[in-house]
C-alpha cells in the first residue's frame, strides 16, 4: 500500500531552466532554453524518472495542457548537471511541472518542481555553479 512506503525528503536535487546563450536583462532575445536536473549530492542517483507537463490558460482564456513527456536516466552522477529536455518559450506563460523520482541506496525519493506562470524570465536568472557559472532560472 502507498501509506506503507516511507518517502524521505529530497535534498540536493534541483531543476534549472537555462537559456542556451547569454541574454542580457532588458533585451528581447529569444534563445532556446534547456531544462537541467542538477545533483548537488555526493552520491549518484539511480533509475531517475522525470515527467514534465505544462498546464494553464491561454491569453484568450482557453484552458490548455501540454503533452506529458517522460524521461529515464539510468544514473545521474554526483555534482553533475543532466540535460532533460528543450523547452519552448511559448509555454513560459503556463505552469511547467517536473516530477522527479529516483533511487539512492535502494530507497525511493520523489519531488515535484513547479515553475509558476511567467516565472521563467530574465529577471529571475541566477548563477548555476554546476553549469560552469551559466545563468538560469533555478527551482529548489
Q: Where are the domains of the chain?
A: 2-139
Confidence of residue 14 (pLDDT cuts 50, 70, 90): very high
Mean pLDDT score, 64-78? 97
> Which fold does the domain 2-139 belong to in CATH?
Immunoglobulin-like (2.60.40)
Q: What is the pLDDT of residues 84-140, one digit of tens each?
A: 999 999 999 999 999 999 998 888 899 999 999 999 998 999 999 999 989 999 997
Contacts of 20 (CB under 8 A, 6+ apart): 31, 32, 33, 34
How far is residue 43's CA from residue 73's CA, in Å, rounded to a whole number? Answer: 15
Q: CB-side exposure of 70: number of CA atoms within 13 Å?
A: 5
How far is residue 82's CA from residue 48's CA, in Å, rounded to a whole number? Answer: 11
Q: Answer yes or no: is pLDDT of 25 > 80.
A: no
User: Which helix (H) or strand (E) covers residue 45, if one does?
Assistant: strand 45-57
User: 20 phi and psi, to 5 degrees?
Assistant: -80, -5
- The reported pLDDT for the residue numbered 45 is 95
- When the pLDDT of each residue in the chain is averaged and rounded to a whole number, the result is 90
Q: What is the pLDDT of residues 73-96, one digit of tens each?
A: 999 999 999 999 999 999 999 999
Amino acid at each position: 500500500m502507498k501509506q506503507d512506503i516511507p518517502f524521505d525528503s529530497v535534498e540536493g536535487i534541483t531543476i534549472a531552466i537555462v537559456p542556451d546563450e547569454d541574454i542580457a536583462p532588458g533585451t528581447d532575445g529569444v534563445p532556446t532554453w534547456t531544462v537541467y536536473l542538477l545533483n548537488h549530492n555526493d552520491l549518484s542517483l539511480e533509475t531517475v524518472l522525470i515527467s514534465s507537463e505544462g498546464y494553464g490558460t491561454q491569453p484568450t482564456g482557453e484552458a490548455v495542457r501540454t503533452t506529458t513527456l517522460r524521461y529515464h536516466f539510468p544514473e545521474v552522477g554526483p555534482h553533475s548537471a543532466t540535460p532533460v529536455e528543450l523547452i519552448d518559450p511559448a509555454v513560459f506563460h503556463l505552469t511547467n511541472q517536473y516530477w522527479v523520482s529516483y533511487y539512492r541506496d535502494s530507497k525511493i525519493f520523489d519531488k515535484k518542481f513547479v515553475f509558476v506562470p511567467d516565472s521563467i524570465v530574465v529577471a529571475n536568472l541566477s548563477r548555476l555553479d554546476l553549469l560552469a557559472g551559466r545563468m538560469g532560472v533555478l527551482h529548489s
